Amino acid sequence: MNQLVPLPVLLPLCATGVSLAFGTRLARFQRFISVAVLTAVLGLSVVLMVAADRQGPLSVHLGDFAPPLGITLVADRLAGLMLTVSSAVTLAVLVYSLGQGMADRDKETPVAVFHPAYLILVAGVSLTFIAGDLVNLYVGFEIMLVASFVLLTLGGTGPRIRAGSTYVIISLFSSMLFLTAIAMTYAATGTANLAQLAVRLPELPLGVQTLVQAMLLTVFAIKAAVFPLAAWLPDSYPTAPAPVTAVFAGLLTKVGIYCMLRTETLLFPGNRLGDLLMALALASMIVGILGAVAQTDLKRLFSFTLISHIGYMVFGIGLATREAYGGAIFYVAHHITVQTSLFLVAGLIERRGGTNELTRLGGMARSAPLLAALFFVPAMNFAGIPPFSGFIGKLGLMRAGVSDGSVWAWILVAGATVTSLLTLYVMAKIWNLAFWRTEPPGQAAYGTVLEAADDSDDDDPDTGPDRIPGTGDEGIGPVPAGQTLAATLQGRAVTTTIRPPRAMTAATAGAVLLGLAFTVLAGPLAAFTDRSAAELIARSPYVEEVLGR
């Protein structure tokens, strides 16, 4: 069973090579490879999660080199759960993107870039979850960075290039800080292996421990978009295509939360910086949700709610009790799925209405009832309305705060309550503007022209206006990628609204149902996260599995 641990990383990497080899020559086979590999990764993740729950942590030393020389990969309950949820989400987003036709854009480039970049992103995420040392954790971050920049800048538009550049600059800064922290840790302990660090770090002076802890927390807080290190997120994510934004918002920020959980429990027990973490959690909750209240652009609004709800997870990490860790892990699994669902729905809304601007939308409860249902369910789940899993996760964290009884804990309980109420207000605002009110004058119907422009600013004026295969001046042909349709009309580029392909709707419905499954299976999931929290606090199962003690 231990030999299965590297496969969630190796399978996507091997599939990347196959995908690049075929390129656009066999586009259908390329898509088949991506779906098949992510399905296999999901199956492997479930097997590893169940095995880790029954047998304890699983580890493998690549090349059979013992720490600190070799590369160690470890799958315990927490890693298994994160692998499973992330694999399910990335598979749903891939199906959504195929339905949207994003991959078809690769015909315009020398290589089919979307599928390889997406598979590399999945490999990087998987590596961060099972990395048994700080160096390979850093490698996982860098793999994600490379793939993320490609995905953020798909299409090469000005806003996407600017947003991608901001993302890369921030990520490179955090990477440089991470390398510095790794160098300091290795110089002080002689190892970067997490299990060995759990034994050696307590022997260092308290000041050195605290400095290393603070540097690592800063790196992971940037990745997780914890206030005040989250200013980059609202400007970076909304410019990307809907499926890219969905997987970034739903999953990549949780990689930072996972790293905080792993290092705070394994390397720095004792909660020395607990008060600081709770202060940051409160600030993230309040500032994030107030930012969301002020937005009318749907994607930016969801980006601010993402920052806000990261605060709930940091709240649990700051409390550092078994109940708090269990609540934080439960909320991470819930949030990955529900946040991804909301961004996928945002893509459908944009496709239906031709815009993300809420003030220009309306009447979708009548004109698109299925879309209304797909929004309403995750929105109520996200707001924490009983009996959804969002309510269960928030209740677990608040109970942990009440049990702790400290001043900071009570402040966070109050802040979490206010944030939840404001989240409900934000979700109601979206519902009222986009779905419930009557259609505003000029609301676009399917197939209507939204805008027209001449070809003066076309990238290639020699080829005339941008066209789609099968279209011409006489009308609209096959539907391409994106929420709008670029075609030509009397020599001008026009944009029209189009119906979402069934695959997009089915993938969104699948993500929504996965969120509902967390509600139906809340009892077993809560028990699993509680066992995960107990294993994190104990530390010995992880250390003994890696070091063989």
Per-residue pLDDT of the chain (549 residues; tens, 9 = 90+): 778 888 889 999 998 888 777 766 667 777 888 899 999 999 999 999 999 999 989 988 887 777 777 788 999 999 999 999 999 999 999 999 888 775 445 444 445 678 888 999 999 999 999 998 999 999 999 998 888 888 887 766 677 777 777 888 888 889 999 999 999 999 999 899 999 999 999 889 998 999 999 999 999 999 998 988 888 888 777 777 778 888 888 888 899 999 999 999 999 988 788 889 999 999 999 999 999 999 888 889 999 999 999 999 999 999 989 999 999 999 999 999 999 999 999 988 888 887 888 888 888 888 888 999 999 999 999 998 988 999 999 999 999 999 988 899 999 999 999 999 999 999 999 999 988 888 766 555 544 444 433 333 444 433 333 433 333 333 333 333 333 444 333 333 434 455 677 888 899 999 999 999 999 999 999 999 999 999 999 999 999 988 875
Residue 485 and residue 428 share a domain? no
pLDDT, position 176: 92
140 is a domain residue:
yes
Number of structural domains (the chain) is 2
Residue 360 and residue 470 share a domain? no
3-state secondary structure of 28: helix
25 is a domain residue:
yes
d(Cα 318, Cα 206) in Å, to the nearest integer? 19
The alpha carbon dihedral of 474, 478, 481, 485 has a sign of positive
Residue 315, H or E segment: helix 298-319
Residue 434 and residue 514 share a domain? yes
Residue 305 and residue 167 share a domain? yes
90 is a domain residue:
yes
- CA 32, 9, 327 angle in degrees (round to 5)? 105
444 is a domain residue:
no
pLDDT, position 240: 75
432 is a domain residue:
yes
Instruction: Tell me the pTM.
Output: 0.86
Residue 490 and residue 506 share a domain? no
- What is the Cα Rg of the chain in Å? 23
On whether the CB atoms of residues 362 and 439 are closer than 8 A, the answer is yes
Residue 179 and residue 278 share a domain? yes
**In which domain, by residue range, is 21 found?**
2-438+502-547
Residue 492, H or E segment: strand 492-497
Q: How many CA atoms lie within 13 A of 169 on its CB side?
A: 10
Residue 348 and residue 491 share a domain? no
Angle between helices 407-430 and 369-383 (to 10 degrees): 170
340 is a domain residue:
yes
- The DSSP output letter for 481 is S
Residue 506 and residue 493 share a domain? no
Residue 307 and residue 213 share a domain? yes
443 is a domain residue:
no
On whether the CB atoms of residues 457 and 428 are closer than 8 A, the answer is no
- The DSSP output letter for 106 is G
Give the torsion through C-alpha atoms of 508, 513, 516, 520, to 10 deg.
-170
Residue 485 and residue 351 share a domain? no
Residue 491 and residue 406 share a domain? no
d(Cα 126, Cα 118) in Å, to the nearest integer? 12
Residue 477 and residue 370 share a domain? no
518 is a domain residue:
yes
The separation between CA 548 and the C-alpha centre of its own chain, rounded to angstroms, equals 34
